[in-house]
Amino acid sequence: MFSLQQKNAVVTGAGSGIGKAVALLLAKQGARVYAVDLNESQALETVKEIEAAGGEAAALVADVSKQDQVQQIFSGVTKVDILVNSAGVSHIGTVETTPEADFDRLYNVNVKGVYNCLYAVVPIMKQQGGGVIINMSSIAALVGIPDRFAYSMTKGAVTAMTLSVAKDYIQHGIRCNCISPARVHTPFVDGFLKKNYPGKEQEMFEKLSKTQPIGRMAEPVEIAGLILYLCSDEASFITGCDYPIDGGFTKLNN
């Protein structure tokens, strides 16, 4: 089950965190992975790990917020069976504490970046007769999260784009879904704690972990497992859906 043999998968944000875990797992299941990241050295490291495990991969360097760069990397990829839009940035702040520059940065990466990749890939998938798209949303699109004004805005847009693409291209054999994780233990979390809570990293880590009813953060590989399922032929009846993967956060936090 969940074999991706003979499939090409493009994963954005593949240099670290969830994107890297997704790239490694899809390659393990047989996909040829195109690891897209703004950071060339991190993208190459992901490729190195995939190849060391016997998989096939190539690194593609691009800023997903720039349409010309996205179009350029996809011009060399003639077959795209799977697109995972994982590249994204976060932000802490209310509407009052979110400067215009930060708002624009969040929009450019998290919203326009997804749009740019969809814009490039959907015509390829139409021409080849179908494909699978997974977008990275968040529980911040489902419930109110303190101090996440701009981030929540972008993830709400991602969910809306997912539904739109699923509706518009269902007759072309394109499935489009999104997933909504709660907190995931990534390098971003460690960096955030180190910057904002020096000397209290472990204490704050435990506090943030316990906001999930299950009592901990997710690991990137757990997010990757859900994405693998949705990319596989076993999920061929699923489109236009959002999947919370949140340790009970959205339903059990009473």
One-character DSSP codes across the chain: ----TT-EEEEETTTSHHHHHHHHHHHHTT-EEEEEES-HHHHHHHHHHHHHTT-EEEEEE--TT-HHHHHHHHHT----SEEEE-------B-STT--HHHHHHHIIIIIIHHHHHHHHHHHHHHHHT-EEEEEE--GGGTS--TTBHHHHHHHHHHHHHHHHHHHHTGGGTEEEEEEEE--B--HHHHHHHHHHSTT-HHHHHHHHHTTSTTSSPBPHHHHHHHHHHHHSGGGTT--S-EEEESTTHHHH--
The pLDDT tens digits for 125-151 are 999 999 999 999 999 999 999 999 999
The pLDDT tens digits for 174-198 are 999 999 999 999 988 898 889 888 9
Q: And the tokens for 154?
A: 């972008």
Per the residue annotation, which of 151, 197, 229, 243 is the catalytic one?
151
Which amino acid appears at position 15 of this protein? G
Which pLDDT band, with edges at 50, 70 and 90, does 254 fall under? low
pLDDT for res 65: 98
**What's the whole-model pTM score?**
0.96
pLDDT for res 196: 81
CA distance 151 to 190: 18
pLDDT for res 161: 98
Give the distance from CA 164 to its chain's centroid. Answer: 18
Q: State yes or no: pLDDT of 63 exceeds 70.
A: yes
Annotation marks residue 151 as catalytic: yes
Which pLDDT band, with edges at 50, 70 and 90, does 244 fall under? very high
Domains of the chain: 8-183+220-252 (3.40.50.720)
The pLDDT tens digits for 36-49 are 999 999 999 999 99
User: ∠ at Cα 226 (213, 58), nearest 5°?
Assistant: 130
